[in-house]
Amino acid sequence: MSGKAKYRPEFEAALRLFARASKVLTEQGYDPPILVGGAAVELYTTGAIATGDFDIATARQSMFEQALQDNGFIRPSGAGTSTRGWMHPSFRLGFEVVSATLLDGLADRERIVLIDFGDDGSAAVIAREDMIADRMGQYASGTAPEMLGQARMLYALHSDIDRAYLARRISEETIGDFTIEDLEGYPL
């Protein structure tokens, strides 16, 4: 993580534990689990948008969940449980495997970002362009109007994105209903 970026302590701790659990899989020769969803948005907005959960894409769900357990995660139960996945007693962020494939195989796996945590391993994170396109797809579905604001903020914060790739991915995720121009002019 960037020395300049300031994240809330529980988010940084969760990222580090995600890297530890991921290391178990990569040391056995498997692809790393990939952070998607709100936690990727929090990372890419440097905390301007906060999340309550870590959504993960991995084809090795049972192995990843065992690695979480081995790192102190528990599966909460009972009334008031806010996650269907796992939580660590040290912080209130849920972890849940939401997919076996990254964006139904549409995302370019070569664009995945790896954040090095030294001995704890690395955290694999969905590319910014794919995260923006995913948010646009959720917005286009009509069920998540707030996702347009997230997509616009991500776009505004990252002027160095691959515009051609992003344009293609937005078209794919929204079935052509939206374009990159729908992100333009968002005030920070």
Query: pLDDT digit string (tens) for 76-94?
Result: 876 555 557 999 998 888 9
Q: Where residue 31 falls among pLDDT bands split at 50, 70, 90?
A: very high
pLDDT at residue number 83: 57
Q: What angle do CA 114, 100, 108 make, to 5 degrees?
A: 45
Spacing of C-alpha 155 from chain mean position: 16
pLDDT at residue number 62: 96
The single-letter code of the amino acid at 113 is V
Q: Tokens for 56? A: 């993960």
What value does the mean pLDDT take over residues 47-58? 94
Give pLDDT tens digits for 132-163: 999 999 999 999 999 999 999 999 999 999 99
What value does the mean pLDDT take over residues 81-110? 89
Res. 2: pLDDT tops 60: no
d(CA 138, CA 150): 11
Q: Tokens for 102? A: 């990254």
pTM: 0.92
What value does the mean pLDDT take over residues 12-28? 97
d(CA 116, CA 175): 35
Mean per-residue pLDDT of the chain: 93
Res. 60: pLDDT tops 60: yes
